[in-house]
Each structure stands twice: as structure tokens, then as C-alpha cells.
């Protein structure tokens, strides 16, 4: 499972919990966590797709 997939799954869990109308303290915590996840997803998006080990070796003209 990729990092982005894990982040999206966690985001979905938090959004579902937020719909259950948690208390003020827990709601604030969920909102903070959602903001952190969104930031992480933005950073991953800016970084672009990661190359696999095989792609890295091919790009450097090496065999694995």
C-alpha cells in the first residue's frame, strides 16, 4: 500500500468520524489531523510519482 493510499484511507476514516458529531475537543483534533493529511498529500503530489527500484537502475544504465 502506498503512502498516498494510506493517507487517503486515514482521511476517509476521519471524515466518517467527523460526521458522527464528536465533541468540540475531538472535532478540533480531527480537523487538525485532516489538515496535516491534506498537507502531506499536497507534498506528495508536488514530488510527483516515485520511481521504482527497477526504474532507478534503468535510468542509471545499471542492471539489478
Q: How confident is the model at residue 11 (pLDDT cuts 50, 70, 90)?
A: very high
Q: Average pLDDT of the chain?
A: 86
Domain-by-domain residue ranges, the chain? 3-59
- For range 21-26, the mean pLDDT: 97
CA distance 29 to 44: 23
- For range 47-59, the mean pLDDT: 63
CB half-sphere exposure, 50, CA atoms < 13 A = 7
Q: How high is the pLDDT of residue 47?
A: 87
Q: How high is the pLDDT of residue 49?
A: 75
Beta-carbon neighbour count of residue 11 at 10 Å?
17
Name the nearest CA neighbour of 18 among 28, 29, 27. 27
CA distance 37 to 41: 6
Amino acid at each position: 500500500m502506498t503512502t498516498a493510499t494510506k493517507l487517503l484511507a486515514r482521511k476517509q476514516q476521519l471524515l466518517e468520524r467527523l460526521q458522527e458529531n464528536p465533541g468540540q475537543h475531538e472535532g478540533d483534533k480531527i480537523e487538525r489531523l485532516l489538515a496535516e493529511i491534506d498537507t502531506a498529500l499536497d507534498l506528495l503530489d508536488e514530488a510527483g510519482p516515485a520511481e521504482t527500484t527497477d526504474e532507478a537502475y534503468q535510468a542509471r544504465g545499471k542492471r539489478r
